[in-house]
């Protein structure tokens, strides 16, 4: 049975989306618990996720 390998661009987009969602949850949890460190960590992770998604989109365009 042959494994189907995911394109790096698709992998970056998926991982970026996961980081974005995880960061969003951390940001909200930081707001609810009044924890500025958790909120900042969430915002950083959200930003990193958005950047990673954009990198995946650019890679996908360059693959063609």
Mean pLDDT split into 10-residue runs, the chain, 64 residues:
75 94 97 97 97 93 82
User: For position 35, what pLDDT does the model report?
Assistant: 97
User: For position 28, what pLDDT does the model report?
Assistant: 97
d(CA 26, CA 62): 33
User: For position 63, what pLDDT does the model report?
Assistant: 80
Helices (H), the chain: 8-32, 36-63
Work out the angle between the directed axes of helices 36-63 and 8-32 (0-180°, nearest 10). Answer: 160
User: For position 1, what pLDDT does the model report?
Assistant: 53
Could you tell me how far CA 58 lies from the centroid of its own chain? 15
């Amino acid at each position: 049975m042959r494994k189907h390998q995911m394109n790096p661009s698709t992998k970056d987009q998926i991982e970026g989306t996961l980081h974005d969602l995880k960061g969003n949850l951390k940001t909200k949890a930081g707001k609810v618990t009044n924890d500025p460190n958790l909120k900042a960590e969430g915002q950083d992770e959200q930003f990193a996720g958005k950047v990673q998604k954009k990198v995946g989109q650019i890679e996908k365009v360059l693959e063609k």
